[in-house]
Amino acid sequence: MTTPEKIAVLDIGKTNAKVVILDCTTGEEIAEKRTPNRVLPGPPYPHYDIEALWAFVLEALSAFAAQPGFDAISITTHGASAALLDTEGELALPVLDYEHEYPAEIRSAYQTLRPPFSETFSPPLSAGLNVGAQLHYQKTVFPEAFARVRTILTYPQYWAFRLTGVAVNEVTSLGCHTDLWRPREGTYSSLVDALGIRDRMAPVRSAFDTLGPLLPDTAARAGLAGPVPVHCGIHDSNASLLPHLVGREPPFAVVSTGTWVINFAVGGDLDHLDPRRDALANVDAYGRAVPSSRFMGGREFEMLTAELGPLSPEAALAAMPDVIARRLMLLPNIAGGSGPFPGRERQWINDTDASTDQRWAAACLYLALMTETCLDLIGAKGPVLVEGPFSANPAYLQALTALLGREVMALPGSTGTSQGAALLAAISPKTKPGRAVPTPSWTIDAYRAAWHESLGA
């Protein structure tokens, strides 16, 4: 197979979708188009506007076909979705929005079906964050439509199917808190049989596999003259992890920030994970289990921005000493339903007459404390690599460095998902070196102790 010169990456996140062109020699993103990932209210339930996304993908590929051009396609998406196809390859049911809440009786019935954490290393999560819960909901509430399902696909591979006509599944999406996978054994879990869907699960292929060329009709609609290979695709957090697995020796940790803050302890073990605190196993592109933890930090940042106005990182950093001295604190959770402190609701402490900059400083301390807690829960060791939007927030980064007392590296670029997906085409990683975060002059030990004491932790 010829190494591509430029690769188009379909990157479909929870909030936005984009198509990016990367130069395979430099690793640089040289073109991008993006669109909001719209959720339709139903019927039959809230679901993604798949046809609008497909039209966007075709328009972007067509726009990029001549300039700058591309000669391969890869895919990355969020993990908490599955696509259910009928015998014609059409969606038998819409792709469900994972934030949709199910009736209590549906949730209760699912808990009797789901395998133990020791089998799947997948904790019980809210709404449809466990894909198994989605499938149970769809099968229970829409039995006639579910009876028409012939093929079940993980979400990145659904888009690969739309592009190639080849239906497969892949382990990074199966292994990201779906309840459907055994990370230690690398096989489907007992839930697949409990739901009676084993014969509908598409064959499992490697994320690195080329599934085939772009379908001729799709290639023609995109204005492409020749065949373009399409790679299998990968779960977005594991796409962010992949570049760091190439040429770096464990142990180390990766903090991948976006809508979610996903923490990976590379070189760690699965023996001490607490499912009650959103610790779990992910499965990397090579099929290896990786201890992980998470909280919805990016969503919380958006909520804070709506309340406080835009963050001025330098002003927040300057306010840190006063905030620490007066113990102005923000306690979890701003966005509920996930994270290391489930069931708690946000609380400000000592915030009388606090300025916006001081509140933002406390918020950055909060995000750093949540990250430290998540890293502790998975036994993370070694240097910590922060990538995604939080890597550009010096107030957060310096707070995290002060908390951890070890090297923290901020990696440039808005996201690592596109670069990770591009690696599936066998290009060499061309990542820029990270910058070491300076250790601040202020100390944080007493503040940390007071924050945890306020939580009763």
Task: Report pLDDT digits (tens) over 8-18.
Answer: 999 999 989 99
CB-facing half-sphere around the CA of 294: CA atoms within 13 A: 27
pLDDT: which is higher, 248 or 380: 380
Where residue 431 falls among pLDDT bands split at 50, 70, 90? low
Give start and end residues of each alpha helix (H) in 345-457: 356-377, 394-404, 417-422, 445-455
- Report the CATH number that the domain containing residue 192 is assigned in CATH: 3.30.420.40
Do 417 and 381 sit in the same domain of this protein? yes
Do 252 and 389 sit in the same domain of this protein? yes
Q: What is the mean pLDDT of residues 129-135?
A: 97
Do 175 and 111 sit in the same domain of this protein? yes
Task: Find out whether 266 and 251 touch, Cβ atoms under 8 Å.
Answer: yes
Q: Which of 203, 232, 261 is the last residue of a domain?
A: 232
Q: Which of 232, 250, 269 is the last residue of a domain?
A: 232
Do 228 and 249 sit in the same domain of this protein? no
- What lies within 8 Å, CB to CB, of 155 at 6+ separation is 12, 77, 78, 79, 81, 82, 83, 95, 173
The string of pLDDT tens digits covering residues 63-77 is 999 899 999 999 999
Do 40 and 167 sit in the same domain of this protein? yes
pLDDT number for residue 457 = 56
Burial of residue 41, with CB atoms counted within 10 A of its CB: 0-12 exposed, 13-18 middle, 19 or more buried: exposed
Structural domain includes residue 84: yes
- How many Å apart are CA 237 and CA 282, to the nearest integer? 9
Mean pLDDT score across all residues of the chain: 94
Do 57 and 106 sit in the same domain of this protein? yes
In the chain, % of residues over pLDDT 70: 97
Task: Find out whether 102 and 133 touch, Cβ atoms under 8 Å.
Answer: yes
408, β-bridge pairs = 384
Q: Which of 184, 208, 232 is the last residue of a domain?
A: 232
Domain count for the chain: 2
Say which amino acid occupies 307: E
Structural domain includes residue 1: no
Do 210 and 309 sit in the same domain of this protein? no
> Residue 433 pLDDT > 80, yes or no?
no
- How many Å apart are CA 39 and CA 53, to the nearest integer? 11
Across 220-362, where does the E strand assignment appear? Answer: 229-231, 234-235, 252-257, 261-266, 279-283, 289-295, 329-331, 347-349
Here the tokens at position 133 are 């819960």
Do 146 and 180 sit in the same domain of this protein? yes
Q: What is the mean pLDDT of residues 162-185?
A: 97
Do 248 and 213 sit in the same domain of this protein? no
Backbone φ and ψ of 10, nearest 5°:
-85, 120
Structural domain includes residue 165: yes
Domain residues for the domain of 136 are 6-232
